[in-house]
Structure 1
Amino acid sequence: MIIQFTFEPKPKMQKQLIETFTQHEFLFAKGTAPRPDTEIWVTYGEDVTKETVAALPQLKWISVASAGIEKMPLVYLSDRQIHVTNARGIHKTPMAESIVGHILSLYRSLPAIYQLNEKKEWDKPKGSRELRGETALILGPGAIGAEVARLLTAFGVHIIACNRSGNSVEEAEQTIRLDELTNYLGEANIVLSLLPSTNETRHLLTNEHFEIMKEDVIFMNFGRGDVVAEKHLVAALESSPKRHAVLDVFEVEPLPPTSKLWQLENAIISPHISSHSAFYVERAMEIFSENLSKWESGDTKLRNLVDLKAGY
């Protein structure tokens, strides 16, 4: 069986795969199209197009070493009955640490302290707050959201989880349905979106939602940028300087220099790096190896199997 990688894991990882799964031929070629006889394609996902897949008549499974698959031709892949898995869950540690780090930074006035350091000024910033007793509302509480909830709970934060079903999230004190969101937004000091990009979530948050939020809310988007139209976000930040937005994802990436978000002092721009970690590829390869062992035994109930019709 031909297994094509269109990125190059470290040589040690390549060697381990080749020695563990001896019956397969592994090809590692960054930046090139898969060979026509490829049956399993391992990729970050950006190079998966309808045209590329159409040139692979024997393709049966695409293993995506990232979580996002929204740009892939999902309908075509479903019609071809190609299995797609992703690396959902491997980001929870670095992303949760990034998210909590940003929250603590704002609550304890760290950006202002850093600015005073640069100016060599001995002064005391105003506005520092405590997390204890605050409320965080997490939209899309999957593995990442659960880890954020666990960490924030240790600081005494009340956690409200919001998902489509309303099924209880263990790490949250309260779970609500997505259609109940407007009833609870006004209670939250921190609103964190970890939602994927689907037809249901695209531009889900509107002016109405931001009008309900507290004047000093911290809005964080670490899921997908199109959950909110940029113009609505800009308007919400301009209307209340006490508000903050911490953004790791955007409608258009890279964020254009002309975007108003760059000009707002209460917007923190993170260039889609919250998931970066030295262990990223290692964790993705652990999922791939587990699934390849299943695949060899004829088990197609793979870990992180994507519902191509739902889009996640």
Structure 2
Amino acid sequence: MVILFSAKVAEKHQQVLEGAYPKVQFHFCEGTLEASEYLNKATVYVTYGDDVDEELINQAPNLQWISVLSAGVERLPFELIKERGIRVTNSRGIHKVQMAEYTISMLLQVYRQEKYLMKNEQQNSWDKSLRMKEITGQTMVVLGTGAIGQEIARLAKAFRMKTIGVSRSGRAVEFFDETHTIANLKEVLPEADFLVSVLPSTSETKYLLTEEHFTFMKNSAVFLNIGRGDLVASETLLKAIKEGQLAHVVLDVFEEEPLPADHPFWQEEQVTITPHISGQSPNYMVRALAIFQDNLDKLISGDQDFINLIDPTRGY
């Protein structure tokens, strides 16, 4: 078995894998160019997902499994993958701790006026006129009730928030007081003090939010997106802010990344921008490789019950 990594992995992790699987031939590369030398022999391709296209798959006739060390798989050529019968797994679930912490920290940042406090500190300005608010007791609507959404809701409960989950199925999930289907989203939006999206990018979620959705919301509401940038058009968000339909927007994901330096978002006081880092953690690779190893054990043993197996028809 030949396992090819295009995802950069620290030497200490390489040594652990080689020691645990002495009969497996590993090739640890940094990027597609270096990895291309071994594609024709690779049984397993380990990647962050952004380098997999039809050309790469066609160069790998022995490929059985693509292991993505991130959650995002929207760029993969699923028609060819389905045709070839190649398994795809991702690392969803490993981001829940850090992304939930990010969410709460950003909501506190907005309500406790931290942007302005830091600005005043830099300008030596003793300004006690800032109006602070409390996130405790507010209502949070979370788009996406998987591992990340559940952890966000769990932390929200520490602040005694009402938590409403919205998902494709609308099934009941722990830590949510209510759950609804996406089809009923407009019915719950008026309750939201905080609207948080952790949705992936799929055919069902692309540009799901429209101008109309924001007209249903309180003008004091905060919208936070840590899912994917194509959930809502940038122009729609800018209009909602400029027309006072939202009080603040926190964005970690964008339609175009990196966000261009001349993008209007940078100039908006009521927009907080972070460079797609809500999933960063010193424990990221350890968690991702734990899932990879569990699935590798299944591949070796013939077990078909892979963790985080992606349905190529749905793309998630």
With the length of structure 2 as denominator, give the TM-score of the two structures. 0.97
Q: Is the 8 A contact 2:214 2:246 kept in 1?
A: no
Q: Pairwise CA RMSD of aligned residues?
A: 1.1
Q: Tell me how far 1:257 sits from its aligned partner.
A: 2.2
Q: What SS does the aligned partner of 1:63 have? A: strand
Q: What SS does the aligned partner of 1:235 have? A: helix
Deviates more, 1:112-121 or 1:187-196: 112-121
Q: Is the 8 A contact 2:3 2:42 kept in 1?
A: yes
Deviates more, 1:195-204 or 1:109-118: 109-118
Q: In the alignment, what sits opposite 2:189?
A: 185
Kindly provide the amino acid, as one letter, of the partner of residue 19 in structure 2.
Answer: E
Q: Distance in 2 between matches of 1:99 and 1:160?
A: 15
Which runs of 5 or more residues in structure 2 are unaligned?
none
Q: In the alignment, what sits opposite 1:206?
A: 210
Map of 1:42-53 to 2, 5 A cutoff?
42-53=46-57
Q: Does 1:283 align with 2:287?
A: yes
Deviates more, 1:214-223 or 1:24-33: 24-33
Q: Is the 8 A contact 1:168 1:174 kept in 2?
A: yes
Q: Deviations over 1:239-288 (max 9, x none)?
A: 11861000000111111123211111101111101111111111110100
2:70 to 66, 71, 84: 66
Q: In the alignment, what sits opposite 2:107?
A: 103
Map of 1:1-312 to 2, 5 A cutoff?
1-31=1-31, 32-34=34-36, 35=38, 36-240=40-244, 243-312=247-316
Q: Tell me how far 1:210 sits from its aligned partner.
A: 0.7
Kindly provide the amino acid, as one letter, of the partner of residue 17 in structure 1.
Answer: L
Kindly provide the amino acid, as one letter, of the partner of residue 17 in structure 2.
Answer: L
With the length of structure 1 as denominator, give the TM-score of the two structures. 0.98
Over 3 Å counting, the alpha-carbon distance change for 1:18 and 1:161 in structure 2 is same
Q: Tell me how far 1:8 sits from its aligned partner.
A: 2.7
Q: Percent of aligned pairs with the same residue? A: 43
Q: Distance in 1 between matches of 2:211 and 2:257?
A: 22
Q: Tell me how far 1:7 sits from its aligned partner.
A: 2.3
Q: Distance in 1 between matches of 2:67 and 2:304?
A: 13
Which runs of 5 or more residues in structure 1 are unaligned?
none
Over 3 Å counting, the alpha-carbon distance change for 1:242 and 1:124 in structure 2 is farther
- Off by >6 Å, runs of 4+ in structure 1: none
Q: What SS does the aligned partner of 1:51 have? A: helix
Kindly provide the amino acid, as one letter, of the partner of residue 306 in structure 1.
Answer: I
Q: Deviations over 1:70-115 (max 9, x none)?
A: 0111111111110000000111111111111000111112111111
Q: Is the 8 A contact 1:133 1:157 kept in 2?
A: yes
Q: Deviations over 1:25-78 (max 9, x none)?
A: 011011223411100011111111100110100000000000000011111111
